Amino acid sequence: MKKLIILVVSMILSASTMHAAEVPEAVKKAFTQKFPTVTNVKWEKENGTEYEASFVIDSKEMSALYTATGALKEIETEIPVADLPQAVVDSVNKKYPNAKIKEAARIDRSDNSVLFEAEIRVGGKKTDILFDGNGNAVN
């Protein structure tokens, strides 16, 4: 039970929701320049040093991750599961033959690399797995 409490507290501390007033001005400015029409933004602090903005554009859930100085690290965009590269689908089916891909996202990183996230359910448990475009799992 003690381990469970420690795990839950760690999860809460690693990503905590915050008010926009708590977000550094450089981060808010960079976000507004990149997404000038977005108004309903939920902010979270990730890993104690990064800021994630969650929002919706054209009915797609999105998030943008920034450093404390306002440098954009990545943009995650919800995509239909059918839009995942076939190599990603094949990798999921090979490693998790009983899994079903429930949701998917495309992650565009600041280094111009692209990752894909597949949310799968195995035995009632939800797991998010990152892949490159060739279907290789990424840490």
pLDDT digits (tens, 9 = 90+) for 52-79: 999 999 999 999 999 999 999 999 999 9
* pTM (global) more than 0.95: no
Residue 11 has pLDDT above 80, yes or no: no
For position 21, what pLDDT does the model report? 82
Q: Domain map of the chain by residue range?
A: 1-78, 80-139
Topology (CATH level 3) of domain 1-78: Nuclear Transport Factor 2; Chain: A, (3.10.450)
Strands 60-67, 50-57: pairing kind: antiparallel
Residues 114/108, Cβ–Cβ less than 8 Å: yes
Residue 45 has pLDDT above 90, yes or no: yes
Q: How far is CA 8 from CA 1, 122, 131, in A?
A: 11, 21, 27
CA 135 to centroid of chain Cα atoms? 18
Examine domains 1-78 and 80-139 and report if their fold is the same. Answer: yes
What is the CATH architecture assignment of 80-139? Roll (3.10)
